[in-house]
Copies of this chain bind each other. A is one copy, B any other.
Amino acid sequence: MLKLSKKAEYALMAAKYMALKNHSGFSTAKEISESYQIPYQLVAKVLQNLVKSDIAISAKGVNGGFSLSRKANTISLIDIIRAVETDFKIVDCMQVNSSSADCVHFDCCKIKDPLAEVQRKIDKVFTETTIAQIL
């Protein structure tokens, strides 16, 4: 279906929110959740993912929250998506951890290599677009 997950969508929205108010300190998960009508627990989890991938930094306690770790124009969409999404390949056998043994079609389909080029182009689109461009 070639659709982004809700997590990816929420991650982009959260990143956008933080980028917009980055000058003025931290944004809390609650704040983002309410502003954009995203379930709190979900956006909290997504924000944690962004921290793990060093896209955002976090601060606990009162006045804490999240903030982008670098300028919006240096964060690409693929950074965000990879932070929350496990797979980002259009066909299974392109996954990094999949070997030829995993794929029954390996010796016959021969569709993998041409599609790899398609994959490369799609990655390029998400790599070239930054958070700054979706503000």
Asked, given contacts A12-B111, A13-B111, whether A3 binds B2 with beta carbons under 8 Å apart, the answer is: yes
Give the residues in chain B near A118, CB-CB below 8 Å: 77, 125-126, 129
Asked, given contacts A114-B134, A122-B122, whether A13 binds B105 with beta carbons under 8 Å apart, the answer is: yes
Hey, which bits of chain A sit against chain B, CB under 8 A?
1-5, 9, 12-13, 16, 35-38, 77, 81, 85-92, 104-105, 108-111, 114-115, 117-118, 121-122, 125-126, 129, 133-134
Given contacts A3-B87, A114-B133, 11 further A-B contacts (CB under 8 A): A1-B3, A1-B87, A2-B4, A2-B122, A13-B111, A16-B110, A37-B108, A111-B134, A114-B129, A118-B129, A125-B125
